[in-house]
Chain A
Amino acid sequence: MAAELDQNGFTVAPPNPDLHCTPQSVSAHTLYETGDPYHLVESGGTLDTSDAKFEASGNRAVRVTGSRFLPATKYTVRIEGAALVGYRSIVVAGIRDPLVLRQLDSFLSTLRKVVERKISENLNLATNQYTLNFRIYGRNGTLGEVEPETSIDGHEIGLIIDVVAPSQSLAADIMPIVSHTGLHNPIPEHEGLISNFAYPFSPGGIDAGPVYQFCANHVWELDDPCKPFPMSLENV
């Protein structure tokens, strides 16, 4: 998109002559990835689009007027940060046995207990030093705990075993404990050794590298804009 700005507003149009924009397509942009379409908070102030007018200008362009910039009463700085929280290894597996699927929750909670003990004994790691997450595609793999439909309606599920540990080698060491124990984790209906997981790859474990999480996302109000950013001049 190309925009022409002037004192009273701006006019946008696509440089590609085959395309055009409409008042609706341009105004819909105030919706995209915004929590509030009328108040877009930025450092230094808020863009208020409550009274914005979007009008067609010719066949391809849109003229926008009436939006206001409301300067913040305090000087603010946006702080964003991410921190390393560990290293991930994953395994992908399919489960097709209906007897396992119908007791999947108890199957996985039993498995979790057993592997937590093995990880503690073999790697000397407490449960607060790593995360073990069973991602169940075919039930709530997409929405997690928010998923309103909690039953498994299909004939199979896709399981991602997701481990995050303090180092890549520890994550890679935990993974076979989980995947091998899970492979043979017994259920009462089958007598004898069973294999519960279908692995599409061998070796199954995939090192997925470092994991970062947001650790800061703030608007910082400052009395003195320069205070957190000290400057010094030196003659060299």
Chain B
Amino acid sequence: MRELWQFTKLIRSKNAGPFELTFDIMFKDQESFNQVLQSGVLTKERISELYQVGVDEVRFFQINKLLTVKITIPRKVFSGDVRDTDIYGGQFHGPLIQVPIPDSSSARLRQPQ
């Protein structure tokens, strides 16, 4: 069992305008990209749980050419709101870093190809 950051060269979050947050997850290589996507862990449903937003509010882009997954969600507290904790949204990727990724063999057992 490894954590998501061990498969990536960059995990970042940032505002996409004042009302949305976007996550860019760039993988080290094709194998890491495939393994994480095949593990079935990095999904709209998981993001919805982690960030307390509706599944249908999660936009998920799998960008094969860049070995990248991009995910965009609405901000529950808008940028600059009196209650905002992170005006530029630069630290919201924190909970993603250590998401556990099952190793390939157990992933294959769970999701026969």
CB-CB under 8 A for A31 and B70, given A146-B52, A214-B78 = yes
Q: Select B59's contact among A36, A86, A149, A211, beta carbons within 8 Å.
A: A36
> Which residues does chain A contribute within 8 Å of B15, judged by CB atoms?
33
Q: Interface centre among A34, A85, A141, by most B CB within 10 Å?
A: A34
Q: In this complex, what residue of A is CB-closest to B14?
A: A33
Partner of A142, one of B76, B80, B91: B91
Q: Does A135 contact B (CB under 8 A)?
A: yes
CB of A147, distance to nearest CB on chain B (Å): 8
Closest Cβ of chain A to B75, distance in Å, is 9
How many residues on the B side are at the interface (Cβ–Cβ under 8 A)?
Answer: 36
User: Whole-angstrom distance from the CB of B74 to the nearest CB of chain A?
Assistant: 10
**Distance in Å: Cβ of B84 to nearest Cβ of chain A:** 8
Are B82 and A164 in contact, with the CB atoms below 8 A?
Answer: yes
A148 at the interface (CB under 8 A from B): yes
The smallest C-beta distance from B37 to any residue of chain A, in angstroms, reads: 17
Distance A115 CA – B83 CA, assembled complex (angstroms): 19
CB contacts (< 8 Å) of B19 on chain A: these are 217
B3 at the interface (CB under 8 A from A): no
A28→B26 contact, CB < 8 A: yes
Contact A145 B17 (CB under 8 A): no
Distance between Cα atoms of A79 and B59 in the complex (Å): 24
Among A116-147, those with CB < 8 Å from B are 131, 133, 135, 140-147
Contacting residue for A135 out of B79, B81, B85, CB 8 A: B85
The distance in angstroms between the C-alpha atoms of A153 and B20, with both chains bound, is 30
**A35-B19 Cα distance, complex, nearest whole Å:** 10
Question: Is A32 interfacial (CB-CB < 8 Å)?
Answer: yes
The residue on B at minimum CB distance from A135 is: B85
Residues in chain B within 8 A of chain A (CB atoms): 14-20, 22, 24, 26, 50-52, 59, 61, 63, 65-66, 68, 70, 72, 76-86, 91-92, 94-95
Interface residues of A (CB under 8 A from B): 24, 27-28, 31-38, 82, 85-86, 131, 133, 135, 140-149, 164, 211-214, 217
Can you list 9 A-B contacts (CB < 8 A)?
Answer: A35-B16, A131-B83, A133-B83, A142-B85, A142-B91, A143-B95, A145-B52, A211-B82, A213-B81
